Every structure is written in structure tokens, then in C-alpha cells.
Amino acid sequence: MAALTPAVDKDEVLPLVEAVLSWDLRDQDMPAVETALALIEQFTISGRAIADELRDRCLSIPVDSAAGVSAQAALGEATRRLYLPPPSATPLAAAQRAQNLGRLLQRLFEVTDEVSTECASLRPEVNRPSPHVGRANTVRAVLTPGPVDV
């Protein structure tokens, strides 16, 4: 099944998040409103894609697992924050929203990793022999009247 949302490159997004989180909002030298608004838009698109992928991955784990509970909390926060209208066009409001979305993206990536680890631990081992190997002849022998060449 093809992905309906664009793939998010974690290695591309996290450096932007770190740069945004390094902004000192008490300083007069805040980023331009246009810069912050552009990052808000990029973080919103990325966050929605990550949240969609996380929702899909959560279908493969128990809801009450530690990863499942963390994912539910992060997805709830994502639902609240990723669908807010754009902030007022003041430097402080735009910078604060960009930082809040940056922290949310970090958490979504962390929880996605936790859920992926949980999914991997639940998958059966690829090379493990099936418990049914060697039993087919037994069943055939029971169901077939007369001698069986095995």
C-alpha cells in the first residue's frame, strides 16, 4: 500500500528543530516573522505525516503497552497542536509556535521509534521453524487409508 502522506526525513527535520529550539525568545534578536511562519508550516506538514505514520504503526501493538500509551498521549497532543490556525503575525507568537511544534516533532519521532521497537519485538522470528513442520505427514497418514510412502 502506497503512503498517502509525504515521507519525512528525520535527518533533515531534526537539525531545523534544534535550530528553532536554540532561539532565545527573551532576546531582541528573534527570527523574522516570515522565517518562523515558514518553519511552522513545514513543521505542521511534517508533524501530520509523522502522526499519520505513527497511527498506522500503533495498529500493530497492544494499546495498553508502554509504547502504545506513549503514542496515544503524543497523538492526542499532535491532534491539538497540528490543526491550530496560524499564530498572530508577531515575532514572539510565531517563534513560540515554531518552538512548540519543534518539541512536538521531537516527541513524535521518539514515540515512533518506541513503537517501531515494540513492533519488532512482537514479530515472529523469520528463521524460526514453524511448529507445524513435520506434522503434515502425520495428518496425511491419519486421513489416508492404507499405507503411506513418506
What's the predicted TM-score (pTM) here? 0.77
Number of Cβ within 10 Å of residue 118's Cβ equals 20
Q: Convert the pLDDT of each residue in 48-70 to its tens digit.
A: 999 999 999 999 999 899 999 99
**Of 71, 65, 58, which is closest to residue 109 (Cα–Cα)?**
71
The gap from C-alpha 68 to its chain's centroid, in whole angstroms, comes to 11
Find the mean pLDDT for residues 131-141.
45
What pLDDT is attached to residue 141?
42
Q: Is the pLDDT of residue 15 over 80?
A: yes
The one-letter amino acid at 32: A
Q: Is residue 68 part of a domain?
A: yes
Cα–Cα distance, 32 to 21 (Å, whole number): 15
What pLDDT is attached to residue 110?
96
Q: Is residue 138 part of a domain?
A: no
- Number of structural domains (the chain) is 1
**Collapsed DSSP state (helix, strand, coil) of residue 124:** coil
The one-letter amino acid at 87: P
Find the mean pLDDT for residues 118-125.
79
Q: Is residue 136 part of a domain?
A: no
* Least confidently predicted of 28-32, 65-69, 73-77: 28-32
Q: Is residue 1 part of a domain?
A: no
Straight-line distance from the first to the last Cα atom of the chain, in angstroms, rounded to the nearest whole number:
42
What pLDDT is attached to residue 28?
79
Find the mean pLDDT for residues 123-128.
54
Q: Is residue 117 part of a domain?
A: yes
What pLDDT is attached to residue 123?
74
Provide the residue range defining the domain that includes 69.
10-124
What pLDDT is attached to residue 138?
40
